[in-house]
């Protein structure tokens, strides 16, 4: 920026206050736009590290699946693709409501933002609910190789290799579910601000970053769904 900082900052504040959608500028930034871009960039950098975190599990999955394709196909028939389809639909719908919520915060529409955030949380909660139900049925079938719980696999394929599928299943979906819980907490934080009718301008960047996070978690599931549930579906529910 060649123009004096104060001048640039003032002009941006003025141009945006009419529509009211950018937060006040912190001292280290030239103007609101630069602040917003820096935030967005930082979030994408964080999401890159998140992708590396999930990437390690995807790599482990790929190696085991290539080495033991038939084991994974058979073991995956113990999870329910029908429910997973419902979960995918819930999550995709929640991404729509999330995108609408971010737009509503930007536009300063407190009421609409609150409704959209609440819907996103409910859809996410529904996802977690079905997930927990699935975890419980796997636990009941002795297919949850965690915490030293009893594990017994009755199939054509080798039980210790099938165990590897369930280990990966629990770690991949578990890490994903943990991200969802964090996401729901963040949504709650933004929603409280909207209910209290706090200046939406201050929250537009925060809402957008939470949105990026939420969509990223959705994106991970888009790959988990066919990898874990649709190898060779047999029983749908």
Q: Which is nearer to another protein, 32 or 143 (CB)?
A: 32
Q: Which two tokens stand for residue 141?
A: 């079938």
Instruction: Tell me how far apart the alpha carbons of residues 224 and 208 are, in angstroms, rounded to a whole number.
Output: 24
Sign of CA dihedral 74, 76, 79, 85: negative
**Cβ of residue 156: shortest distance to another protein, in angstroms?**
18
Interface with another protein (CB under 8 A), residue from 26, 27, 52, 140? 52
Nearest to 236 by CA among 14, 77, 26, 43: 77
- Phi first, then psi: give them for residue 97, nearest 5 degrees: -65, -30
Interface with another protein (CB under 8 A), residue from 57, 96, 118, 175? 96
**Cβ of residue 194: shortest distance to another protein, in angstroms?**
16
Q: Check binding of 70 to another protein (CB under 8 A).
A: no
Q: Check binding of 194 to another protein (CB under 8 A).
A: no
CA torsion, ordered 172, 175, 180, 181, to nearest 10 deg: 140
Q: Check binding of 57 to another protein (CB under 8 A).
A: no
Q: Which is nearer to another protein, 9 or 88 (CB)?
A: 88
Q: Check binding of 122 to another protein (CB under 8 A).
A: no
Instruction: Tell me how far apart the alpha carbons of residues 161 and 164 are, in angstroms, rounded to a whole number.
Output: 5
Instruction: Tell me how far apart the alpha carbons of residues 40 and 36 are, in angstroms, rounded to a whole number.
Output: 6
Q: Check binding of 106 to another protein (CB under 8 A).
A: yes
- Phi first, then psi: give them for residue 139, nearest 5 degrees: -60, -45
Return the DSSP state at 78: G
Nearest to 171 by CA among 77, 83, 17, 61: 61
Interface with another protein (CB under 8 A), residue from 55, 132, 133, 136? 55
Span near another protein by CB under 8 A; candidates 2-10, 132-140, 143-151, 223-231: 223-231
Interface with another protein (CB under 8 A), residue from 5, 37, 188, 192? 37
Instruction: Tell me how far apart the alpha carbons of residues 12 and 115 are, in angstroms, rounded to a whole number.
Output: 30
Q: Check binding of 209 to another protein (CB under 8 A).
A: no
Q: Check binding of 119 to another protein (CB under 8 A).
A: no
Q: Check binding of 124 to another protein (CB under 8 A).
A: no
Q: Which residues bind another protein (CB under 8 A)?
A: 19-21, 37, 40-41, 44-45, 47-48, 51-52, 55-56, 58-59, 62-63, 66-67, 81, 85, 88-89, 92-93, 95-96, 98-100, 103, 106-107, 208, 211-212, 215-216, 218-219, 222-223, 225-227, 230, 232-233
């Amino acid at each position: 920026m060649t123009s004096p900082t104060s001048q640039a900052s003032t002009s941006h504040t003025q141009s945006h206050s009419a529509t009211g959608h950018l937060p006040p500028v912190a001292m280290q930034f030239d103007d609101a736009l630069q602040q917003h871009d820096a935030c967005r960039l930082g979030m994408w950098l964080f999401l890159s590290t998140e992708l590396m975190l999930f990437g390690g599990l995807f790599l482990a999955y790929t190696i085991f699946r290539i080495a033991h394709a038939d084991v994974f196909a058979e073991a995956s028939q113990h999870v329910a693709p029908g429910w997973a389809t419902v979960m995918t639909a819930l999550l995709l719908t929640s991404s729509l409501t999330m995108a609408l919520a971010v737009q509503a915060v930007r536009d300063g529409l407190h009421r609409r933002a609150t409704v959209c955030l609440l819907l996103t949380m409910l859809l996410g909660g529904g996802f977690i609910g079905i997930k927990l139900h699935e975890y419980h049925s796997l636990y009941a079938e002795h297919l949850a190789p965690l915490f030293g719980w009893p594990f017994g696999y009755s199939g054509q394929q080798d039980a210790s290799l099938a165990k590897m599928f369930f280990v990966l299943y629990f770690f991949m979906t578990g890490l994903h579910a943990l991200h969802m819980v964090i996401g729901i907490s963040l949504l709650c934080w933004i929603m409280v601000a909207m209910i209290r009718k706090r200046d939406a301008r201050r929250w537009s960047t925060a809402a957008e970053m939470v949105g990026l996070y939420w969509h990223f978690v959705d994106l991970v599931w888009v790959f988990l769904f066919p990898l874990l549930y649709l190898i060779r579906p047999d029983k749908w529910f």
